Amino acid sequence: MRIVWTRHAEERQKQWEIKKGITREEVERVVSQPEQVVPGEHGVWVAQSRVRGGLLRIPFVEIPEGRKVLTVYWTSKVDKYWRKGG
């Protein structure tokens, strides 16, 4: 699967790499093989996996070539976003 990065997503990943050590490779792994994919708003999907005691969330849209990453963020609020049974 091809992963296309927006400039915003690249900038956010770099910020999270400084804060939490989240690498570009880790983001691409979560987008390709997430623990969960949940619906977002306006046709956006969110790939998410539990990492570093929190949740790495990656909003994306499906495109003909693969997935386009819109942004990247980590949150400690796992219970807020995690879908039980998912």
59 belongs to a structural domain: yes
Half-sphere exposure of 13 (CA within 13 A, CB side): 19
The predicted-structure confidence for 11-67, as pLDDT tens digits, reads as follows 999 999 999 999 999 999 999 999 999 999 999 999 999 999 999 999 999 999 999
| Cα 8 from Cα 5, distance rounded (Å) | 8
For residue 32, give the 3-state DSSP assignment: helix
Q: Contact 35/14 with Cβ under 8 angstroms? A: no
Asked whether the beta carbons of 19 and 81 are under 8 A apart, the reply is no
Beta-strand pair 2-5/36-39: unpaired
How many independent structural domains does the chain possess? 1
Claim: this prediction has a pTM higher than 0.85: yes
Where residue 9 sits, what CATH number does that domain have?
3.30.2310.20
Domain extent for 36: 2-81
Is 86 within a domain? no
**Residue 71 three-state SS:** coil
